[in-house]
Chain A
Amino acid sequence: MATHNIKHALFSAIITLIISAPILGLDLESAGTELKLTGASTSTLVSIVLAAIVVFLFQTFRDSIMGALGQMPKLNRFADREPMPQEKRLKLENIFLIVLVAGALLWPFIASRGSVDLATLVLIYVMLALGLNVVVGLAGLLDLGYVAFYAVGAYTFALLSQYFGVSFWVALPTGALIAALFGFLLGFPVLRLRGDYLAIVTLGFGEIIRILLNNWTSLTGGPNGIGGIPDPTLFGMEFGRRVKEEGNISFHDFFGIAYDSTHKIIFLYLIALVLALVTFLIIRRLMKMPVGRSWEALREDEIAARSLGLSRTGVKLSAFTIGAFFAGFAGTVFASKQGFISPESFVFLESAIILAIVVLGGMGSQFGVILAAVAVTVLPELAREFSEYRMLIFGAAMVLMMVWRPQGLMPMRRIHIILKKQE
C-alpha cells in the first residue's frame, strides 16, 4: 500500500470529520428565548468517528475494493454481448412498446386510485423527459431551464380557462404552441452560445419565468396560484358529480352508471398515456428524418455541420421549439390533473430532475428515458419512510450511476440509416 494512498485516506477522513462534526455533533436547543449550543449524545459522536474510520479504510483499500467491484458487472450478462442486428432490435423494440402500452392500458383497472394518480404523474414526466431529450440528448444543447416551458403550458391553460373559459381540448394545442413560441424566442439569444454559457442562460430564463409568474399578481395571482382549472371532458361529457356547464351532461348519467370519482382519474391517466405515446412516436419519427440527423450532426461537430451548409440557426431553433412544444403539452395535462397551479411547481429543482431523468436514462435513448422517468418518480413514493433523505438518496444514486454506468440505464443505440442498395 503506497504512502500516497494513506495520505489521501487520512485527508478524506479529516474532511469527513470537518463536515459532519459541526452539523451532527452540535445541537441547538432553545432555552426560553435564546438558543443554546450543546454537544450531541455520545452515540452520535461515536458514529461520527466510526464514519471517519470507514472513510479512511475505504480510501486506503480503495484500489482493491474498486477492482473487486470492477469484476461485478459480470453479473450483467448482457453487458458485453454483441449488439444485435438493427432490424431485429427494431422489431424487438416495437414488440416491447406494444406490450408496454397494453400493460399501461390495463393498469388503471387493476391498480388502486392512488397508484393511477401517480402513474399519471409518471406519464407527465415521461413527456417532459422525452421533450428535453430532443434538446439535450439529440441536439446536445444543455438546457437547465426546461421547466419554464412546462410552466408556460400549464399557465396558458390556467389563464385561458380563468379569463375565457377555454376547455382542456382547446388549451392543449394552444398551451403547446405558446410554449413552442417561447422556446423559439429563447432560441434566438442563445444561438451563439454553447456548453456552460448556454446552460447559464437557460437557467436564468427558467428563473425569469418563475419570478414573473410569482410577481405578476394582477394576472397570475402570484404565489396564490390559479385554482379551479377544469377537468378534461369526453365529447362534452363531464366527470364531476354535478354538471358545471349548461348543456353538458355528466359521464355517469350518460352511461347510466353510478357516480365514481375514479372515472375522472382513469380518464386523465388515459389522456396522459395517449399524449405520452404521441410524443414518443412523433419524436421517434423526427429522429429518423433529416431534421433529426441535423440535430445529431450539430451535437457531434458544429463546425463540420456548418461546413456542409446546415444552418446553425435553423437546427438549434428547431430543437428548442420542438422540445418546448412537448413541455407545453405536459404542462397542460399537469394543470388539468392538479386543478390548481402556482409558481412553486416550477422551481429549478424540477428542471434538475427532468435533466437527471434524461441523463440517467441515457442521453438520446427514448426507452431509457421512459425507464428513468418511472424510476425517478416512483421510487421516492415507494420509499416514503425515508422522505427526509430523498434528495440525499437521489444524489447518491446519481453518483453511483455516473461511476458504474455513465452512459445511462439504456444507452442510445443509433438507428443507422441504410439506403436500399441499387439493383
Chain B
Amino acid sequence: MLLLEDIHTHYGKIEALHGVSVEVKKGEIVSLIGANGAGKTTLLMTVCGSPQATSGRVVLEGRDITRDKTSDIMRSGIAIVPEGRRVFPGLTVEENLHMGGFFNTKAEIRKSQQHVYGLFPRLKEREHQRAGTMSGGEQQMLAIGRALMTKPRMIILDEPSLGLAPLIIKQIFEIIGHLREEGITVFLVEQNAHQALHLADRGYVLENGLIRLQDTGANLLANPDVQNAYLGG
C-alpha cells in the first residue's frame, strides 16, 4: 500500500531522516514509535510531500508520489489526522466534516457523514456546536471523522492520544481497530508505545532519524530493549 524506500529528508541543511525504509501493507495497522525529535512527524510530513524527500522514494499503491504536490497526494486516497488535532475552531462539527468531503459530491458527503456519526455518536450530538468549544477527546474524534470524510483507503494518525485522558485514549484506539475491520489501512505514529504496539500488526522503532527495530507488534512489546526505552522497564 505505502512504501518508503531509503528516505532522506532535510530541513534546510539539517538532515532529519537518514535513510528510512518503511512498508505498510494493505489492511494492516502499522505503528511507528519513537521519542521526541526522532523524526516521526517528519516522516509523516514527507509522505504528504511537505517537505519533500531529498532522496529516496515514496510509493503509494504502486505509484511514485515522492515529487507530487501535497494537495494532489491528499486527494489520492490517503488521509492524515495531523498532530494536535487541528480542527477548524470557528466552524461547527458538521462544517468541519464537510470540509473533509470538500472534493466529494453532496450524496457522498451525506453517506460518509452518516458513517462518521455511526462511529462517533458523540459528534452527532454536537453537530451544530463550534469545534473550538469541544473537549480534547471530542476534537480528536472530529479530526479522525474529518479525515474519514475524504473516503481514504489509508489513514495516517499522528499521535492521536496526545493530551487525552486514558479512558478517551482507549476509545480512540478501539475506533482505530474498527477502521481496520472496515478495510482501511492504518499507519499510526505514537509516543504511547504500549497501546500502539498492542494494536499493531507490525511496528517500527525510529531513533534519531533511523529505523532501529522492526518486528510484529507483539514481538516488539516483548523486546527488552523496547521495554526499557519506551515502556518504562
Tell me, rounded to whole Å, the shortest Cβ–Cβ distance linking B160 to chain A. 14
Q: Which of B79, B94, B147 contacts A417 (CB 8 A)?
A: B94
Decide: A417 near B87, CB < 8 A? Known: A303-B82, A311-B71, A422-B110.
no
B71 close to A309 (CB less than 8 A):
yes
Measured CB to CB, the nearest residue on chain B to A293 is: B99
B118 on interface, CB distance cutoff 8 Å:
no
In the complex, whether A306 has a CB less than 8 A from a CB of chain B is yes
Interface residues on A, range: 20 to 34
Does any Cβ of A come within 8 Å of B90's Cβ? yes
Q: In whole angstroms, what is the CA distance A417 to B81 when docked?
A: 23
In Å, the complex CA distance between A303 and B95 comes to: 17
- Describe A's contact surface by its main secondary structure: helix
Interchain CA distance A262-B42 in the complex, whole Å: 67
- Does chain B have a CB within 8 A of A308? yes
B122: Cβ under 8 A from any A Cβ: no
Q: Is the CB of B99 within 8 A of A308?
A: yes
Which of chain B's residues have a CB closer than 8 A to the CB of A309?
A: 71-72, 74-75, 102-103, 150
Which of the residues B70, B88, B95 comes within 8 Å of A416, measured between beta carbons?
B95
Chain B proximity mask over A302-314: 1 for CB below 8 Å, otherwise 0: 0111111111111
Q: Which of A290, A293, A304, A306 has its CB near the most chain B CB atoms (within 10 A)?
A: A304
What's the Cα separation between A79 and B56 when bound, in Å?
58
Is B92 in contact with chain A by the CB < 8 A criterion?
yes
Please tell me the size bucket of the interface on B. 35 or more
A219 to chain B, nearest CB (A): 39
Decide yes or no whether A29 CB sits under 8 A from chain B.
no
Contact: B90 with A414, CB < 8 Å?
A: yes
Contacts between the two chains (Cβ within 8 Å), count: 81
Residues of B near A417 (CB, < 8 A) are 94-95, 98
* Alpha-carbon distance between A274 and B212 when the two chains are bound, in angstroms: 68
Residues of chain A within 8 A (CB-CB) of B224 are none
* A293-B98 contact given A306-B71, A416-B128, CB 8 Å threshold: yes
Known: A309-B74, A309-B150. A304 touches B102 (CB 8 A): no
* Bound Cα distance A297, B98 (Å): 11
Chain A residues positioned under 8 Å from B71 (CB to CB): 306, 309-314
The answer to the question of B109 belonging to the interface, with a C-beta cut-off of 8 Å to chain A, is: yes
In whole angstroms, what is the CA distance A307 to B70 when docked?
A: 8
| CB neighbors of A among B57-74 (8 A) | 69-72, 74
A2 close to chain B: CB less than 8 A: no
In the assembled complex, the CB of B105 is this many whole angstroms from the nearest CB of chain A, namely 12
CB under 8 Å from chain A, chain B span 124-161? 128, 146-147, 150
CB pair A308 B100 closer than 8 Å: yes
Please, which residues of chain B bring their CB within 8 A of the CB of A310? 71, 102
Tell me, yes or no, whether B115 is within 8 Å of chain A by CB: no
List chain A residues, Cβ under 8 A from B106. 419
B172 interface residue per 8 A CB criterion: no
Query: Do B74 and A304 touch across chains, with their CB atoms under 8 A apart?
Result: no
Which residues of chain A from 390 to 423 have any CB-CB distance to chain B below 8 Å in the complex? 414, 416-419, 422
Q: Check if B22 is an interface residue, CB within 8 A of chain A.
A: no
In the complex, the chain B residue whose C-beta lies closest to that of A306 is: B70
Residues A296-324 near B (CB distance < 8 A): 296-297, 300-301, 303-314
Complex Cα spacing A286 to B58, Å:
37
Smallest CB–CB gap between A155 and chain B, Å? 36
Report A-chain residues with C-beta under 8 Å of the C-beta of B110: 419, 422
Query: Is A296's CB under 8 angstroms from B88's CB?
Result: yes
Closest chain B residue to A315, Cβ basis: B71
Contact B50 A306 (CB under 8 A): yes
- B128 closest partner in A (C-beta): A416
Q: How far is the CA of A101 from the CA of B19 in the complex (A)?
A: 65
Query: Which residues from B are CB-within-8-Å of A304?
Result: 82, 86-88, 146
B24 at the interface (CB under 8 A from A): no
Shortest CB-to-CB span from B157 to chain A, Å, is 12
Q: Does B33 contact A (CB under 8 A)?
A: no
Is A294's beta carbon under 8 Å from chain B? yes
Say whether B102 contacts A308, CB under 8 Å. yes
A313 to B95: give the CA distance in the assembly, Å. Answer: 22
Partner of B146, one of A296, A300, A308, A313: A308
B128 partner residues in chain A, CB cutoff 8 A: 416
For A302, give the chain B residue with the smallest CB separation. B86
B91: interface (CB < 8 Å)? yes
Whether A290 touches B102, Cβ cut-off 8 Å, given contacts A311-B71, A416-B94, is yes
Within the complex, the shortest CB–CB distance from B188 to chain A, in Å, comes to 16
Residues in chain B near residue A414, CB distance under 8 A = 90-91
Q: Assuming A416-B92, A422-B110, is B87 touching A307 (CB within 8 A)?
A: no
Chain A residues within an 8 Å CB radius of B89: 300-301
Chain B residue at smallest Cβ distance from A418: B94
Closest Cβ of chain B: how far from A50's Cβ, in Å?
46
Scan residues 259-314 of chain A and give those whose CB is less than 8 A from a CB of chain B: 290, 293-294, 296-297, 300-301, 303-314
Give, as a whole number of angstroms, the nearest-CB distance from A300 to chain B. Answer: 4
Most chain B CB within 10 A, of A297, A309, A311, is at: A309
User: In the complex the two chains form, what is the Cα distance from A290 to B98 in whole Å?
Assistant: 10
8 contacts between A and B (CB under 8 A): A293-B102, A297-B88, A301-B87, A304-B87, A308-B102, A416-B95, A416-B128, A422-B110
Please name 7 further chain A to chain B contacts, defined as beta carbons within 8 Å, in addition to the given A305-B99, A419-B110, sorted by A numbering.
Answer: A304-B86, A308-B150, A309-B71, A309-B102, A311-B71, A417-B98, A419-B106
Across the A-B interface, the 5 shortest Cβ-Cβ residue pairs:
A309-B74, A311-B71, A300-B88, A309-B75, A304-B86
